[in-house]
A and B are shown apart, each in its own frame.
Chain A
């Protein structure tokens, strides 16, 4: 087992507790950056998709995992990001302007609707966000001159400083762009969590009454979390638009919202890493099903290609399994496995059994 001797407060303030952890992250980013040289177009496109999902997942993770609010309408903020970015590019603005504008539009809209919505909690907030999603969807169809209505909209090819990041012409460039955004957002997110802002999110999540007694303005904190979450999701939406290249409102269906919730729950609520685990799973499962389908057809002569909704059913089954057997998600499982190896052969069977909490009778809202 590794013991870290801390010599100054900075050891706790720093993002990485030791050089190993810093090295691991650096190695991971290096491998990710080298991916275009290692895999073909098909898998690179899949990796790009996974990055975009991880970005959107981080957006929802901040909301659900770290500020304790739920949203069934996050596809709306993906849509706002995608349409803001593409519509502004279509009137001639460069990507370096439209991309931040997408975050700003989604973030401001999110914070604005959050102010009345954050007073709600649980199921009411879920329903309100779902309603919001329906409104945004209708707005997209109504605002045809900007959004292309039902017909859809073209996401123009990205160009920054004369270099093309076109998703089709230069997939490697587009992949690197997505990677850069994801790394930057992850860094900012991790910073947030080690600073007063992140702590205020956790405080509001875990005990509202205590948070208020400590001087935390709960409404404002929740609205900020909502806004930041939506801004991140808006960035993901903009990239998703470019990834798909031509899209209409159907790209942002309610199933996207649900899939995003799956990403954060299966990945592991309350951990940034969870968004990545979840994104990998959600983008890998359809591939896996395609492979299974092929195998079933070739070896058994059974065609399950005609069974629609198989992915959704599989996802749902995985989700139910996780909620019952591993509420801390994939990331939680990973942590436990790591500890088990570190302690080997000392690990005990019941090591991770949850401690019975004292009863919180009279607990105040």
Chain B
């Protein structure tokens, strides 16, 4: 059974058919990538899954639950976490606090308990902290623990955002261009992390990425989209060899 099932998904912004009839399903433990030229509708697919946008048509099912009518904040508790293409961190908080904010779905105390800082709050804080420290160790973020996001280099912020998503403790993680703007070494780290997420954490990964090397290295299956429509789906090499995909990518890295 698949973990995520997207069927005939479509959204129109005025006349722009940003996504138009996209279907795919992601099996548990799979790394599934969506590729396509700029403006193809990849980020929009993510925004539809995380319910920031309301689809014009189609359904999204996660883990047996239809989430098409859910509100955005109801998605994370099911076990879906994400990153954003243009990094959406809490800029005026530290790395540690950003990751702790990722623990929101696991909070066990209410605001009255919090104000009085009852023992239950301290216990919960310790537990959140232990979990967040594990994530920081995994992504080697310890050196930045107390640093404000606003002063961090771009590459570190990208990793912090992955960390915040991992702190949610999701079943499915959506990564929107995790390697864009990163150096070759940093991209390689991302590739290793994705493999570890799948192997050691049992995570399912849905990724949008331009770096075809990274896509080919980590993905089980790939979906290519252009102008909001699906072009091809299959293993990385199948998709790369698809004539429609090559045409859409003419002059870009896939064609080389």
Using a CB–CB cutoff of 8 Å, the interface residues on chain A facing chain B are 9-10, 12-13, 188-189, 191-192, 194-200, 202-203, 205-207, 209-218, 224, 228, 270, 355, 357-358, 360-364
Using a CB–CB cutoff of 8 Å, the interface residues on chain B facing chain A are 47, 50, 52, 71-77, 81-82, 84-93, 96-97, 100-105, 107, 109-111, 114-117, 121-122, 124-126, 128-130, 133, 150-151, 154, 164, 168
Q: Give the nearest-CB partner of B122 in chain A.
A: A13
Q: Is A191 touching B90 in the complex (CB atoms < 8 A)? A: no
Q: Please name all residues of chain A whose beta carbon is closer than 8 Å to the beta carbon of B107 when the two chains form the complex.
A: 196
Most B CB contacts (10 A, CB to CB) among A191, A198, A213, A355 go to A213
**How far is it, in angstroms, between the C-alpha of A216 and the C-alpha of B86 when the chains are bound?**
20
Q: Give the nearest-CB partner of B51 in chain A.
A: A212
**How far is it, in angstroms, between the C-alpha of A237 and the C-alpha of B110 when the chains are bound?**
26
Q: Please name all residues of chain B whose beta carbon is closer than 8 Å to the beta carbon of A214 when the two chains form the complex.
A: 76, 81, 101-102, 104-105, 164, 168
Q: Is B72 touching A362 in the complex (CB atoms < 8 A)? A: no
Q: Is A209 touching B115 in the complex (CB atoms < 8 A)? A: no
**Contact among A199, A270, A364 for B84, CB-based, below 8 A:** A364
**How far is it, in angstroms, between the C-alpha of A214 and the C-alpha of B73 when the chains are bound?**
7
* Min CB gap A338→B, angstroms: 17
Q: Is B122 touching A270 in the complex (CB atoms < 8 A)? A: no
- Given A191-B115, A192-B111: A213 and B76 interface contact (C-beta under 8 Å): yes
Q: Is A360 touching B126 in the complex (CB atoms < 8 A)? A: no
Q: Is B125 touching A13 in the complex (CB atoms < 8 A)? A: yes
Q: Please name all residues of chain A whose beta carbon is closer than 8 Å to the beta carbon of B50 when the two chains form the complex.
A: 212-213
**How far is it, in angstroms, between the C-alpha of A195 and the C-alpha of B101 when the chains are bound?**
10
**How far is it, in angstroms, between the C-alpha of A216 and the C-alpha of B76 when the chains are bound?**
9
Q: Please name all residues of chain A whose beta carbon is closer than 8 Å to the beta carbon of B104 when the two chains form the complex.
A: 196, 199-200, 203, 214-216
Q: Is B129 touching A9 in the complex (CB atoms < 8 A)? A: yes
Q: Please name all residues of chain A whose beta carbon is closer than 8 Å to the beta carbon of B124 when the two chains form the complex.
A: 196
Q: Please name all residues of chain A whose beta carbon is closer than 8 Å to the beta carbon of B168 when the two chains form the complex.
A: 214-215
Q: Give the nearest-CB partner of A355 in chain B.
A: B151
Q: Is B115 touching A192 in the complex (CB atoms < 8 A)? A: yes
**Contact among A210, A213, A357, A362 for B75, CB-based, below 8 A:** A213
Q: Is B93 touching A188 in the complex (CB atoms < 8 A)? A: no
A-B contact pairs, 20 of them (CB 8 A): A12-B96, A13-B122, A191-B115, A195-B109, A196-B107, A196-B124, A197-B111, A199-B101, A199-B104, A202-B97, A206-B93, A207-B89, A213-B50, A213-B84, A213-B88, A214-B104, A217-B71, A270-B92, A355-B150, A361-B86
- Given A212-B72, A214-B102, A358-B154: A207 and B90 interface contact (C-beta under 8 Å): yes
Q: Please name all residues of chain A whose beta carbon is closer than 8 Å to the beta carbon of B47 when the two chains form the complex.
A: 364
Q: Please name all residues of chain A whose beta carbon is closer than 8 Å to the beta carbon of B115 when the two chains form the complex.
A: 188-189, 191-192, 195, 197
The 9 residue pairs across chains A and B that have the minimum distance between CB atoms: A215-B76, A195-B114, A212-B72, A206-B90, A191-B117, A215-B105, A196-B107, A210-B88, A197-B114
- Since A12-B96, A191-B117 are in contact, a sample of 13 more A-B pairs with Cβ atoms closer than 8 Å, ordered by chain A residue number, is A9-B125, A9-B130, A189-B115, A196-B128, A197-B111, A202-B93, A203-B101, A206-B91, A209-B88, A213-B50, A216-B104, A224-B111, A228-B111
Q: Give the nearest-CB partner of A227 in chain B.
A: B111
**How far is it, in angstroms, between the C-alpha of A15 and the C-alpha of B181 when the chains are bound?**
38
Q: Give the nearest-CB partner of B157 in chain A.
A: A358
